[in-house]
Every structure is written in structure tokens, then in C-alpha cells.
Structure 1
Amino acid sequence: MNNNETDNRLSSQYIDLLDERLGGKALSCSDQWFAPCSNLVKAGRGVFKEGHFVDTGQWMDGWESRRSYGRKRDLDYDWCVLRLGVPGRVVGVDVDTNHFRGNAPEAISVQAASVQGVVTEDTEWTEILSKSSTEAHSQNLFDVNSKRNWTHLRLCIYPDGGMARFRAYGIPAVDKGQFFLGEPMDLASARFGGRGLLCSDMFYSAPSNLLMPTFGKNMGDGWETRRRRDQANDWAIVKLAGVGSIRKVVIDTAHFKGNFPDRFTLEAVNTDRKDLNAQDIPWQTVVSETPLYADQEHVFVSEINVPEDAQFTHVRLNIFPDGGVSRLRIFGYPDWETVNVL
């Protein structure tokens, strides 16, 4: 499937398991003569610098192999092996050929593997997307019907060529063995499956940035809304990694010095409804209206207003009236039956 509807559904409902901030990495490829495969997991859709030539030709912001004729190959395609930033179940991929107009591949396929350690010549690959046609200078989006959790992907391009970026959207899988008994989890973290679902505004940046496990690197690496000229406020709804309690909240306004929100509230709900912005959703106040300050981490424990054993599926961060937040952390104890585990 190749349309904006699929793009919106994948990017808004799922995590890019190849996100460089989560640890996604291109490990090796059959050929990267014109442009290195490491570019595939970088942020954005890639840029084009017209007339900027290097020793190999036009500089390209992506991965590009040589033309297949004139070189020896054992296969009729080029390939790139990538390690997911977090293991997980892949539900869709985006093969973005942005700016690759006369040098895009004709088709692609995707294989997957679940590996403990490193990929070797003996690694067993399973095809999760059969050979599919692609278009130049486009986001080529495909649904993936795979029920297993994977650690690595192998992208195959036919017969050769290049692309700007590769995204693998899905649901992260948590290694329960990495948690000791009674250890809390950051239920909002994208590393464990937290997802930004809805927001009032993301003029400057998306709420999904709030959930990255790393510290924000600049103002662009957070959630920022435009300036409001009415009496309303901005908000963002986050689906937690699983059903869980809320025992500690962290709001980080790092880098937001002249545009941080004046104050905030945090609400939570336990529901399986999809219309989370409906007026009758029974949100409960977790942290009452509280001032925020520029460029600092705010930690709330005693301020939490819900019972220790209360269970929630979603939180809503309300900021007044507008502005930017770098990170949101929600620490609590998960119901492991509701978490995608390895």
C-alpha cells in the first residue's frame, strides 16, 4: 500500500523500531559506493544539495549502490542488514526514495531475523515482505503481516540503486528478564512501547519526541506548539506501554528557555476506547495544575493524586497555554500480561 493514509496510521500509531535515537543501526551492505547505508536510519527524509559533487559523483543523503552491470554479484539484488533499535513486531515499512529520481530501485523486499548476539552467515532469514514495486522520489509504504518479534532486518533492493531513508514501524518487545522483581518501568518510553497518539498541535515538532529514552539534544527534539491567540490550551495523549500504575512523573523542559509552558496538568485513564478526545472520557487528575520552569527537569512524586494501585492505559499532558516540552517520563509498575514481551 502506498498512500498518505497508511503513512499517517503507521507514524502516529506505531514506533519506528529503526529510529537512530533508540539504537537503530545499519550494520552492513553489499555495496555503498555512492552513499553509505548508515544514512538510512537518520532523522528526516533526507536533503538534496544541487551541484554538490564528491569523488563518486553527486552527493546523496541516503544509501546508494553502484550500477549492477560491470561488477560481479552472486545475487540479482543489493542488500543492507539493519539492527532494530529495540526488538519488536513489525507492522509496516517506509522505503523513502526522496530525491532519488533517476537512481531508485525498481522493487524491494524485506527479510527479518531474531538473533541473540550478532548476525552471521548462518543467520536464518524470514521474508516478511515479498518483492514489491517502488516509485522514485516517493514514500513507498507497505503493510507487513508478521506476528513474531524480530531483532534485525535485511532490506533487498532490485536490482540496485538508492533510497534516502528506511523506517520499520511496529510494537517494541520488552525483555522482562532485564527487570528485577518490583522494578518500576518508564511506561511512556518508546523503548518499551509508549506511543504518542493525539495532540492539539504539533506545528514545530511531534509529541512522539517526548517519549524518547535519550535526553533531548535541542529544541527540535521535543514537542512544541505554535503560540496560541485564544483562551484554550494545548495537550498531548500518550498510550502507555501496558496497563500500569503511576508512581513518579518527570517533565523535562530542556532547551526550552523562552517558550516553555507556564504550567501543566497530567491526567490518566484506563480505557480501550479509540475516541480518546471525546468529552465523556473519564480522565483522572494525576498531577494538579503546577508551574513549569525553563530548561530544567521537574520531578513529581508526592504530588501524585491517584492511588498507588490504580491502573491506567493512557495519560494526557495538558500545557498552559502553549509552548514546548522536551521529555515526559511516567514511572510505574506494569501489568506484564499487557506488555509485548520477548
Structure 2
Amino acid sequence: MTATLLSHSPSITGVNDLDNFVDVSGVKEENQVSSFEQQGYVNAGSSGIGARILFATDEWFATADNLLKDSPPVFDPDEYCEQGKVMDGWETRRRREEGHDWSIVRLAQRTKIYGIEVDTAFFTGNHVPAISLQVADLTHTDEVAMVTRFPGALERLLHGCVQGTGASPAEVQQAEEACGIVTWAEILPKTNLLPGYDETRLHYFTLSVPVEASHVRINYYPDGGIARMRFWGIPLETPKPRGRPAYVPIKTGTRCTVVSHKEAIIPSRQPFEYPELSSEVNGGMGLTCSNKHYGDPWNLIQYSLGKDMGDGWETARHPNRPSILVKDPNTSLVDSPLSDWCVIKLGSIAEGGIKRIILDTKHFRGNYPESVKVEGCFAETTEFQECEINWFPLIPRCRMAPDSEHVFDSHQIVNNERFVSHIRVSIYPDGGLSRVRVYGQPGDRQ
């Protein structure tokens, strides 16, 4: 193909000049298509519902954020600023470096795109001659990997686009390399645009095959301005970001065995040689407690696993808890005596001692106790008078983990050969437990 060298052409001063100076093949005029909005599609490129610009090569005259506005473009012929004429759209400088201008849009949510609307309103002598569009459908991990490589990503996140700025050639190259780590698909090849007169400003493009996308790359050829751009489609479910694993302050060690409820095998669901004396089915009872704002201690003795947080014993946040928590350097536990407690009567007296205790924080992920202490007593009378009871330790105060079973076997339980008729569970400073399971050797006395 032989290129023809042209001299500078006259300006396009009206729609009558278009046929002489602009190749408009492939550009659709407003009366050739119906409105995407009337067809029920949603504009995923709306800043009003969360779309945003992640990177732009140049924002000297007007920022790329303007492309995503829901309001119609406005124009004041007498308004100027430090950069020049005030324009309501994304307008870049007259390019003097190699390449072309481009930007990355993060759609409001993953969308199946059916159509695109481009509005060059009021950009008559400075509109973009041609554009192309590419899309990517990214996972949260892919998006983070790309965006964190964009120069100025943090500043843009905090402050948005800044008029009168532009990326250096080195920064543009860095952003190109960031885009290169993900896969892009072209949905609109290089296509001519018309200037922003009333009769020619609106451009509609219907995709022959709808595409699913989370991000759009807008390519200007080579520079100029566009007022608005809209990406019409049907919203799709957006995968939630992969969460970080919950912080687990205690793991299996000498104090106990910690088993998350995410594991396939849960200790309390496995056979054990001694009966669960605390269980309601074996006669256990939840007698009394210091606080039951969100749940009754009776729930602690159910045989089943807790169905939710309401199916457990949870106290109110302690009103006198310290303003700033401080750990005891010797125990690594919070240095505070504040606690709530409950008392459970065993269905049978453990005359052969306590063989296992399971403290279960199932469903309690943000409100499990910092630590728990378990004590026992032997009350020979059927009438329980707490003021007359001498409690002895079974499990010294021990750190807890969220949504887990904490298994204390006999060698991890002190006074494990003493008779036990009742236990007292103290939680520090407050919080919730789903179940308390006490296993032991029953005797003849009830």
C-alpha cells in the first residue's frame, strides 16, 4: 500500500464538511440503532454505581473520570483554566511522544456487555479521530497484580484523577507491562469517530457476540477528547475477593489440640470411650451465669453442633473492659481479671475423674473469648449453693481460637482424678462459646 502525503487540511466547521475529510465507514449514527437503555441494559461504566479509572496516560486538559459521569456533558464557551479550554470529558494533550493515549476502566461490576455508546459532545476541533476497545475479565488476584504495578496507583486511589498531569514515557511503559500480565480481547477494532456536533456526537456499537468483562481498555488514536463513554450490558455476579485466612492465636500444642471447623474430622463427632457427662441427653444442666445477653448457657450442653451464634452462650461486651488492652508478659494473655462465667451440672458425678474437655467456639469468629478457665467442684448435696462451693482448677486460663474445637485430654487437665459434680466456665473478658463438653468416668451417685 502506498501512503499519500497530505498537507494540513482545513478545519471541520460543521456537519456538511464531514464527507470531505473523515472516513465514517463503520460508524453508526443515532437513528440507526435503538437506545440500549430502553432495552433494559445497565451502564456498567457509570461512576455513580462504582466504575472508576485505574490509569490514564495523560489528563492534561480534562480527566478521564469525566468519561464515566452519568450527567450529560456541558460546555461553556467562555470558561478557561490554567491548562486551557475547560472541557467536560477526557481530553489529552496534542501528542508529541511516540505511541498513543489510553486508559483503563474498572467497571462497576462484572458485566456481559452488549453495546457501547461513545459521545463526543462539544469536541468539534479536538475530538479523538479513532478509538479501539479491549476488555479483560479478571479475578481479584489478577486485578491486584495488575493495578499494583500501575505507576501512581495509590495516589489515584486516594485522590482520583488530577487535571494537568500526564505519565512520562517510562511510566507509560511500566503501565503497558502491567497490562501485559493479563489477557485482553478486542471488542471494537480501530474505528473512526465523528466530532461532537449535535447531529454527529452519538456513536452506538452493538456487539455481535456479547462479552463478559470486568475491565475495559480505551485506546485513543492518537490523542484528543471524548465526552462520555457507556458500556451497556447485564450485570453478572462478581466473585468475592479471596479472603485472608482468619488469624488463629493458638494452635495445637502442649496445652490442647485445636481443630478448626473447616477440617473434615471434628473431635466431638468421633466416638470416645467415656460418656459426655455434661450433655443434656445424659442429664446435664445449665444452672446459672453472670450474663446471658445473647445466649443461654443451656445451649452449651446440647449434643448437636451449634447451628449459628444464637445457638450458644454469648455475653455482652464487658462495660468495664480496658480502653487499651495490655498483655501479661509472663502469660501472653490480656492482663485483666474481667470475666463472665457460667455453671454446668454434670448428669452424673465423675467419680473416676475428668477424661476430656472440649471447648467449642463454632461460629464465634469475631467474638470468641480471648481465653477460658474451667474449674470443677464436688457438691455432695443436690442443692447447689455457689457461695459454699470450693472450686478447684481443671483447665488453667488458656487462649482460645475462633470457630474451633479445643480438646483437652486427661494429661492436659489438672486434678483429673478428683470427683466432679459441677464445672464453672469463665471466659475472659467476655464473648461466646458454642458448646462445652465434659467427658468422664461416672459413678453410682447422681
**Going by fraction, where is strand more abundant, 1 or 2?**
1
**Going by fraction, where is helix more abundant, 1 or 2?**
2
TM-score with structure 2 length normalisation? 0.37
TM-score with structure 1 length normalisation? 0.48
Q: Radius of gyration: which is bigger?
A: 2
